[in-house]
Amino acid sequence: MPLLDVRDLSVVFNRRGTTPFTAVDKVSFTVDPGQTIGLVGESGCGKSVTSLAIMGLLPKRGVQVTGEVLFEETDLLKLPADEMRDRRGRDIGMIFQDPMSSLNPVVPIGVQVAEVLERHRGMDHKPAMAEAKELLDAVGIPDPNRRLKEYPHQLSGGMRQRALIATALACKPRLLIADEPTTALDVTIQAQILTLLRELVEETGTALVMITHDLGVVAGLCDTVNVLYAGKIVEEAARRKLFSAPAHPYTHGLLSSVPRLDEPRGTALKPIRGNVSDNIPWPEGCAFAPRCDHVVDACIGATPALVDTGYRRLRCENPITEAPAHAPAWRADQSPSDQSPPGEGAARVVVEETP
């Protein structure tokens, strides 16, 4: 039984005076306990909205959320607001993109971690602070006794993200949603944070939904990858499958547009032409068609269905069949439990981990 089963989740922004906009369109995926899945796509493809919809954090007015979000067979979308509030932070934790602005600037970080423990576990302030210290220690913040009393502005970006992770993991949630947790950080800190996340996930058996545009993050961390485009899942496959043989032209384009160190100098990047807002002006058809090199007539006639071929789900009329030239560099043979730092194999400088 999956821990989280998202079925046909749709989010439509329907403000008065504007035309309705479908940000998430019938997205379905499952997360098993202890599994790490990735939601990958460009800016504006509905990744963050999907996570906010799962958490029930979208505003009530002007937003229609339909479908089912089954968490241990309970539909979170049908839960009353106060029950959902009890579950947030206790059963499902969330880490945000910008650690600079996601901590309360006027409250010491120890109190912010303790607040979650007091809220969900009914702990008194003193034991909660003691446990907060343990948590800060566990997420690798040096000298937690001193840091406990410090304000967010006194911490570095990496430490703030660690503190945020401590708040999200304080009650040992069974599911952790990380919304671009490394985007605002330096590459060296990124590697540390990703290693920390992977260790915590392995230790506690927490399932992780990793939302990112960074394929390097996915390559290092995720078991299964969902590629989103314009609010729809266009391809879902196991990590090795996806990187060794991307079938959707969009996935292929994403992989080709990553700069690489193992190619001769001067090799031009192959960006995907156009941008997300290039769309066909009628509702039917593949949203990626205007930017696609493999476009055929069928693409613009009707929306391709998401076809499950056993080992991958694919929404494409004319998929890529040949193995791409870059396949070996992605280390498709690497198993998820490899001890190498995340992001290796993707085009990034791998920095030796500091303990």
8-state DSSP, 195: H
Instruction: Considering the complex, state which of residue 12 and residue 84 has its C-beta at the smaller distance from other proteins.
Output: 84
Instruction: Considering the complex, state which of residue 72 and residue 223 has its C-beta at the smaller distance from other proteins.
Output: 72
Q: Which amino acid is at 249?
A: P
Query: What's the min distance (Å) between Cβ of 326 and other proteins?
Result: 33
Identify which of 324, 68, 343 has the alpha carbon closest to the alpha carbon of residue 190. Answer: 343
| Total residue count of the chain as it appears in this document | 355
Query: What's the min distance (Å) between Cβ of 8 and other proteins?
Result: 24
CB 317 within 8 A of CB 228: no
Query: What's the min distance (Å) between Cβ of 19 and other proteins?
Result: 23
Residues found near other proteins in the complex (CB under 8 A): 55, 57, 85-90, 93-94, 96, 98, 101-107, 115-116, 119-120, 142-143, 150-156, 158-159, 164, 167-168, 354-355
* DSSP states of 118-163: HHHH---HHHHHHHHHHHHHHTT-SSHHHHTT--GGGS-HHHHHHH
Q: The dihedral of CA 54, 55, 58, 60: what is its sign?
A: positive
Query: What's the min distance (Å) between Cβ of 111 and other proteins?
Result: 9
Instruction: Considering the complex, state which of residue 68 and residue 98 has its C-beta at the smaller distance from other proteins.
Output: 98
Instruction: Considering the complex, state which of residue 98 and residue 344 has its C-beta at the smaller distance from other proteins.
Output: 98
Query: What's the min distance (Å) between Cβ of 17 and other proteins?
Result: 18
Phi-psi region of 72 (alpha: psi -120 to 50; beta: other; left: phi over 0): left
Instruction: Considering the complex, state which of residue 278 and residue 353 has its C-beta at the smaller distance from other proteins.
Output: 353
